[in-house]
């Protein structure tokens, strides 16, 4: 597969590092509210996984197709700017992204009204993710088990993260943990890591992700601690619908459903431990 294609003055090519912010700008224009510094971290996940579509020198769309290890991929940032929709450019950039992930199980978190189109491309629904929003408010004092996740050995955090995700994602995670403005807690009991969660700023508050925990009590301790750090600010939590305890967590903190996505896979199924996933990392990277 070539790195770029040309058709009627339309080119699809890899985004260079200095161009990567364009993807977040287009997402913000769609009202997706990406984290303020998400894209720099996303780029560390796979520098060959971000594409822009250019028509006669003007960028009109984008998509990401990030590779995880040898077996998985995830599609996000699928956007064509309004004036050029319905003209075939979206399908071209979509096909290009899927081709770059050939032979892998491919996941995505798509808007619900596009499910039929994804099904036509071979995707199958796995579950929904529900976005909850509200004001951050700690319900209890900070749990004694909580420590700043950045103070733990990185390999310990990476190993726990891999057990709740497709597989290891060390380059991304190192950037995610270290990014300015990203705050996180881990729950440690008897020197064992039981869960961790991060919040990061977006234009109108903070987004949670990930929030991984061995059980609901640990998840509550972590989320309560995160809320205490940003008391009164807007907070977002994206919960897999299959995690009943995660839905109860959102209800306990009086968060209100505002949006949902369809988690879908192509090329096979993924048996993620959703009972440990109380907040997905992002709709863009899974």
State the pLDDT at residue 206.
97
State the pLDDT at residue 1.
43
Candidates 13, 164, 160, 167; CA nearest to 104 is 167
State the pLDDT at residue 7.
58
Domains and CATH numbers, the chain: 7-128 (3.40.630.30), 131-279 (3.40.630.90)
| Helices 170-178/38-45 angle, 10° precision | 160
CA distance 159 to 286: 17
CA distance 179 to 173: 10
CA distance 9 to 30: 25
Q: For residues 202 and 217, is the Cβ–Cβ distance under 8 A?
A: no
State the pLDDT at residue 68.
94
CA distance 204 to 286: 22
E strands of 69-120, at which residues?
A: 72-80, 105-111
State the pLDDT at residue 8.
66
Q: For residues 44 and 175, is the Cβ–Cβ distance under 8 A?
A: yes
State the pLDDT at residue 36.
87
Q: Enter the tokens of residue 143.
A: 């749990």
What Å distances lie between residue 231 and 131, 180, 190, 223, 226, CA to CA? 19, 19, 29, 12, 9
Q: Which pTM was predicted?
A: 0.94
Give the DSSP letter of residue 136: -
CA distance 256 to 104: 35
Backbone angles phi, psi at 107, to 5 degrees: -115, 160
CA distance 236 to 255: 8
State the pLDDT at residue 29.
82
Candidates 181, 187, 180; CA nearest to 224 is 187
Q: How many residues belong to the chain?
A: 286
Q: What is the dihedral of CA 116, 31, 68, 169, to 10 degrees?
A: -150
State the pLDDT at residue 132.
98
Tens digit of pLDDT per residue, the chain (286 long)? 444 444 568 999 999 888 888 888 888 888 777 888 888 899 999 999 999 999 999 999 999 999 999 999 999 999 999 989 989 999 999 999 999 999 999 999 998 888 899 999 999 999 999 999 999 999 999 999 999 999 999 999 999 999 999 999 999 999 999 999 999 999 999 999 999 999 999 999 999 999 999 999 999 999 999 999 999 999 999 999 999 999 999 999 999 999 999 999 999 989 999 999 999 999 999 9
């Amino acid at each position: 597969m070539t790195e770029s294609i040309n058709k009627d003055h339309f080119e699809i090519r890899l985004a260079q590092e200095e161009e990567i912010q364009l993807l977040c700008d287009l997402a913000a224009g769609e009202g997706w509210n990406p984290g303020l510094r998400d894209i720099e971290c996303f780029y560390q996940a796979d520098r060959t996984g971000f594409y822009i579509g250019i028509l006669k020198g003007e960028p009109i769309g984008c998509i990401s197709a990030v590779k995880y290890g040898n077996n998985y991929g995830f599609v996000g940032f699928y956007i064509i700017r309004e004036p050029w929709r319905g003209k075939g450019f979206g399908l071209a950039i979509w096909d290009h992204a899927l081709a770059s992930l050939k032979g892998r199980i491919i996941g995505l978190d798509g808007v619900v009204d596009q499910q039929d189109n994804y099904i036509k491309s071979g995707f199958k629904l796995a579950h929904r993710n529900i976005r909850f929003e509200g004001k951050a408010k700690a319900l209890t004092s900070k749990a004694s088990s909580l420590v700043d996740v950045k103070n733990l050995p990185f390999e310990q955090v990476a190993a726990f993260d891999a057990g709740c995700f497709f597989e290891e994602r060390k380059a991304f995670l190192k950037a995610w943990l270290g990014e300015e403005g990203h705050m996180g807690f881990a729950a440690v009991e008897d020197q064992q890591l039981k869960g961790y969660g991060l919040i990061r700023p977006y234009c109108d508050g903070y987004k949670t992700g990930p929030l991984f925990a061995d059980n609901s009590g640990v998840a509550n301790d972590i989320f309560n601690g995160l809320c205490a750090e940003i008391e009164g600010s807007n907070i977002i939590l994206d919960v897999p619908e299959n995690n009943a305890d995660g839905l109860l967590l959102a209800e306990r903190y009086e968060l209100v459903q505002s949006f949902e996505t369809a988690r879908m896979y192509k090329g096979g199924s993924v048996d993620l431990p959703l009972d440990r996933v109380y907040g997905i990392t992002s709709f863009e990277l899974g």
